[in-house]
Structure 1
């Protein structure tokens, strides 16, 4: 199993909306590195849900329920989506400030490649964020 982090601007698609919907496809990715990360996702992989711009915090855990397929919002075959479903809301959000201040997370992609919308996360980083969010 691999672990990931996806970013969503809460005014566009929030964690609460995701919980209400119960499932969504992750679309709008137009960066090749992020697209490659979507292609690498497997069913059952766990995903940290990060609110970007507003809040700047990890708010929950999702899982991949369908692997990469053609993005239905474009006819361009270069772009794909995956389906996600919610697993759990964190007891307390884990802010970017908290992540940056934690020496254990100093190399996490969220800090190193802040603009990337879909990124892999090491199991140890994933577990640390869950610990901070409990």
Structure 2
């Protein structure tokens, strides 16, 4: 099992939205960065744990936990002309973008802020501390455990 951080803007999709989704599950659509896509396509696996991270909002930080319930498949939004995520360079034969499905597990008892993560010297590898802006990024088990401890 691996650990991940998926960023989302809560005014577009939040941990609350995931909890309210049918079967508390959603396709994680709209990722349009090649490195983030490659993580989802090649490395994110069934059963992996995901931190849902709220960005571009008043309270930036890790808000909840999800589990990967389906591995990568083509993002249907890339073919939808009415979607903000439409990509005219994608084709059914050669899709450029993928989704994974995640299911809600829990809200954290308190949000773990970016500021608190950056201040914690026990967190050493997470790209957030180094200015990482990817929407999908790996998290080491040690950093995962420390962030979960901070949420209590």
TM-score, with normalisation over the residues of structure 2? 0.85
Q: Distance in 2 between matches of 1:25 and 1:126?
A: 23
Q: Distance in 1 between matches of 2:10 and 2:63?
A: 11
- 1:100–1:106: 8 Å Cα contact kept in structure 2? no
Q: Distance in 1 between matches of 2:25 and 2:128?
A: 24
Q: Distance in 2 between matches of 1:94 and 1:110?
A: 12
Q: Which residue of 1 aligns with 2:142?
A: 124
- 1:4–1:119: 8 Å Cα contact kept in structure 2? yes
User: Which of 111, 125, 139 lines up with 1:107 in the alignment?
Assistant: 125
Q: Which residue of 1 aligns with 2:105?
A: 87
Q: Distance in 1 between matches of 2:37 and 2:128?
A: 16
* Rg (Cα) greater in structure: 2
TM-score, with normalisation over the residues of structure 1? 0.96
* 3-state SS in 2 of match to 1:105: coil
* 3-state SS in 2 of match to 1:100: helix
How many residues align? The count is: 134
Q: Distance in 2 between matches of 1:112 and 1:68?
A: 27
Q: Which residue of 2 aligns with 1:26?
A: 28
